[in-house]
Structure 1
């Protein structure tokens, strides 16, 4: 029984380590990288607090070093999904009634473990399994995941404080309940922090979860699960399974206790899930919550007053960090005619300075594409430029999967503002630039807004405040996260809540209260101290 109101003040964002030569963090990370590479890890599923090995072992290879084996995960079947749901529902009553301070303690301890004991392990697992360089792994798998856990505890404590007013003779209160069923978390390969946040944010609210990570992210996902178990997460609250999408959907989306889905992935998969949920709506105990962050075709538009070096840096970092495998990555750029040539020249020169190779060489800015399927898809877009009379490759374009899935940072210049590479989400290190008449800025904003079905991130670069105001207004619905004089990537928990609308998702803003509300079901309680004892009202006299 609670004997006090406990405070969870606004935390500060986790400091980002730089891994500079000679630094202690650089030496520590290199040591852990060598340790993880020296052993082949057996990776079980986690169902009802038990580690489940099926014998159906799937090898995990670094995308940048195909011949090396990091370990094997044990693939599950339909039977294991049923087991995960059963385990979740068995844990539901106890976990949903566990006091808030006890639930909060689990996730705050997990954040502390990630910041200390496991910091280099979660970073190294992300680097090796997903081919992220040291800095990209640090800001993702360490800092952002720590921030999600700490800030969500604070945000949820603020939600719990929100209570209605009470008139004389009564007391009104709101209970913020967990959903009745289980939450399905489906997480992507590209951000370890997202993979951890999707199940944890729902669980923090008292829900129980079935969690399916992308196969290409299992290596770091199991590290997150190890941290949660060590932090004291009770058995069955989060159940980690490795199954294919159709099997998962068949079982979970037709289950009576399906309470909601927390999803990050492709727009097509999310649309299919939503359709299936709609077709099955009569099966469920309650209407499920559907939360998704999907694709993006993110833009940078420069005004004629833009600083050239600012534009170049925003494009170089925004398009090519983590090989462009971010849903927020700059993928199309609109350059005004007065500075376009200078921007292109400097951008090409910048790209020539970027080294590409293994994550273990810290001088490499570019690493590998996640897998062969993605490599082939991206290469297909680049190869097709030969058949496009309106397009030219300005930089990069070379692809090699001999030892790893490497694609050079590639810049395409097009004369057609609605060409394939200006419209399609490529999800790789490919940026397409289009030069517009510098005096046609507002018309170009309208072109930009109508080119893509997505609305995730975008940026305006300008010195002219009027141009910034016009762009901010006209592109109001073009991006859920809008940046002024910056790259369109790098949202920080508590500072820039993340998410977009249109074909980019439900815009439920991870890293804010907005997302947590989706995993809560409110109950209003009215208690009357002096109950009425006669049905008659005064007006009847």
Structure 2
């Protein structure tokens, strides 16, 4: 009997393991990496809690060694997507009306499974399938994903506590319902934590979900789906559906019962989904909630008072960790001419020290970019810069796909703040620097603010407090996450809620209660304790 108030304790962030040589977690991870390299995994669809196989399959490869096949995954077609919609609808009522503390328990248990007995398995799958070093895998698939699973139930609890005022004789209250339909989730390759959050955040609030994982992150996403099932997730609540985007759009996005869309990916795809929903708006049972985090062209803006060593560190780590494939990665920088002579040699030395190669070699900072399409796209930008009279590739620029999809950490020096690689999203280890005359600070701030359509992350480096205030005000809409004397990457759940606006998304901050509000629908209830029995008002007694 649920006749008591249950409370989720305030969570703390999952501690990051160091993976030092011969540490227990290092030995366990290396053993698991070898095991997965020698195994062959078959990844099915999961619909209504059951494994489903189709006639269409694709290979799962290692980006750092594209001839090495880790396994295969099955691809959902129209019939399987329709089955998943039916499964989500069949599970919806019981899931929505399950006491919230029981829903929360499932995801809290999943966090403990993830950070406990499955830690090495999940980290290894992320490293091999998405080409991450052990630290990048740890902060993604272990720590951030566990944080989402622990903080979001707490945020929901705090939302559910919020109730309206009542007056004498009246009891007002609010119920927080799930949406009137299912939620569609399309998730990216670069963070398994995002994949896990995009499907679980709506589910925690009582929604059922159709989850389309990225084709280049299927393995780690599948292992997380297995953890959810082991934690007790009822059948049909989340349906795991690797598939073609066109099929997902045709069947799922167009379905009248789609009540929400949770997305991380390219701006172009989100724009097309938004347009599709608009064209189809009269056919939906309810107006769909559209939540998206999309592209970015993230900046570092330095003032002449900046600490040169801190600035150099941010330029390298902010641009080249995980091969620049973070939504928040620094890809453009504005440096004053008075600092450039100090920054350049330090930058050259730091970039020269960056190691790149196999994920199983824990000495490497960088690994491979995700696939051939990404490799070719990045190479095209680098070749464009090499051939342009308006830019110079001053560091790196090498691209080699003979074994894996490797792109060297690359620094381009642009002659104008509107050069192509200062404006367009590349999503690779390419940093473009514009060196501005110190006297043109105002003009350069204007260029930084207006050069791109994006508004995701950005950073200012300065020791002069007045300069920090001035730059922050000038760039107030240029970044949804703004950093002072730090690189523009590494947002932590519960500490820096993540998201941007402009063409970077709807800014429904992941890792905060704001995001959870999008997956609930209030019902306000007024109960009159002593109902009136008359049909007249006091003012009507005038004679």
TM-score bin, normalised by smaller chain = over 0.9
Secondary structure of the residue aligned to 1:486 is coil
Cα displacement (A) at 1:473: 1.1
Q: Is residue 165 of structure 1 aligned with residue 165 of structure 2? A: yes
Distance 2:336 2:26 in 1: 41
Secondary structure of the residue aligned to 2:377 is helix
Distance 2:449 2:386 in 1: 28
Q: Is residue 138 of structure 1 aligned with residue 112 of structure 2? A: no
Instruction: Output one character per residue of 1:91-111: Cα deviation in whole Å (capped at 9) or x when no partner.
Output: 001000000110000000000
Tell me which residue corresponds to 2:270: 270
Cα displacement (A) at 1:439: 2.8
Cα displacement (A) at 1:9: 2.4
Distance 2:343 2:523 in 1: 56
Cα displacement (A) at 1:181: 0.3
Distance 1:468 1:540 in 2: 65
Distance 1:424 1:245 in 2: 23
Instruction: Output one character per residue of 1:378-414: Cα deviation in whole Å (capped at 9) or x when no partner.
Output: 0000011232111111110000000100000000001
Tell me which residue corresponds to 2:112: 112
Distance 1:254 1:480 in 2: 30
Distance 2:485 2:164 in 1: 42
The aligned runs of 1:196-215 (5 Å cut-off) are 196-215=196-215
Distance 1:229 1:134 in 2: 26
Tell me which residue corresponds to 2:409: 409
Distance 1:513 1:76 in 2: 33
Distance 1:62 1:144 in 2: 23
Distance 1:254 1:190 in 2: 27
Distance 1:528 1:96 in 2: 27
Tell me which residue corresponds to 1:321: 321
Instruction: Output one character per residue of 1:143-175: Cα deviation in whole Å (capped at 9) or x when no partner.
Output: 000000100010000000000010000100000
Q: Is residue 123 of structure 1 aligned with residue 135 of structure 2? A: no
The aligned runs of 1:226-237 (5 Å cut-off) are 226-237=226-237
Tell me which residue corresponds to 1:72: 72
Distance 1:156 1:249 in 2: 30
Q: Is residue 248 of structure 1 aligned with residue 248 of structure 2? A: yes
Cα displacement (A) at 1:58: 1.0
Distance 1:343 1:269 in 2: 38
Q: Is residue 469 of structure 1 aligned with residue 508 of structure 2? A: no
Greater alpha carbon shift after TM alignment, 237-246 vs 379-388: 379-388
Cα displacement (A) at 1:442: 2.6
Instruction: Output one character per residue of 1:203-232: Cα deviation in whole Å (capped at 9) or x when no partner.
Output: 000000000011000011101101000000
Does structure 2 conserve the Cα–Cα contact (< 8 Å) formed by 1:291 and 1:506? yes
Distance 2:484 2:504 in 1: 20
Cα displacement (A) at 1:531: 0.5
Q: Is residue 432 of structure 1 aligned with residue 438 of structure 2? A: no
Tell me which residue corresponds to 2:534: 534
Distance 1:36 1:84 in 2: 29
Secondary structure of the residue aligned to 1:103 is helix
Secondary structure of the residue aligned to 2:489 is coil
Aligned residues: 541
Q: Structure 1 regions of 5+ residues with no counterpart?
A: none
Q: Structure 2 regions of 5+ residues with no counterpart?
A: none
Instruction: Output one character per residue of 1:244-284: Cα deviation in whole Å (capped at 9) or x when no partner.
Output: 11110001122111111000000000000000000000001
Secondary structure of the residue aligned to 2:129 is helix
Instruction: Output one character per residue of 1:93-141: Cα deviation in whole Å (capped at 9) or x when no partner.
Output: 1000000110000000000001101111111100000000000000000
The list of structure 1 runs, each at least 4 consecutive aligned residues, that deviate by more than 6 angstroms after superposition, is none
Instruction: Output one character per residue of 1:184-213: Cα deviation in whole Å (capped at 9) or x when no partner.
Output: 000000001000000000000000000001
Tell me which residue corresponds to 1:216: 216
Cα displacement (A) at 1:342: 1.6
Distance 2:515 2:199 in 1: 12
Does structure 2 conserve the Cα–Cα contact (< 8 Å) formed by 1:391 and 1:413? yes
Tell me which residue corresponds to 1:179: 179
Cα displacement (A) at 1:355: 0.9
Tell me which residue corresponds to 1:93: 93
Cα displacement (A) at 1:56: 2.0
Q: Is residue 291 of structure 1 aligned with residue 291 of structure 2? A: yes
Secondary structure of the residue aligned to 2:86 is helix
Distance 2:234 2:446 in 1: 52
Distance 1:187 1:505 in 2: 14
Q: Is residue 306 of structure 1 aligned with residue 306 of structure 2? A: yes
Distance 1:140 1:261 in 2: 23
Distance 1:377 1:344 in 2: 27
Cα displacement (A) at 1:38: 1.1
Tell me which residue corresponds to 2:423: 423
Secondary structure of the residue aligned to 1:344 is helix
Greater alpha carbon shift after TM alignment, 211-220 vs 441-450: 441-450
Distance 1:277 1:369 in 2: 32
Distance 2:385 2:305 in 1: 31
Secondary structure of the residue aligned to 2:62 is coil
Tell me which residue corresponds to 2:479: 479
Tell me which residue corresponds to 2:44: 44
Does structure 2 conserve the Cα–Cα contact (< 8 Å) formed by 1:253 and 1:280? no
Secondary structure of the residue aligned to 2:235 is coil
Greater alpha carbon shift after TM alignment, 48-57 vs 255-264: 48-57
Distance 1:60 1:524 in 2: 49
Q: Is residue 336 of structure 1 aligned with residue 329 of structure 2? A: no
Tell me which residue corresponds to 1:506: 506
C-alpha RMSD of matched pairs (Å): 0.7
Tell me which residue corresponds to 2:4: 4
Secondary structure of the residue aligned to 2:217 is helix
Secondary structure of the residue aligned to 2:39 is coil
TM-score (norm 2): 0.99
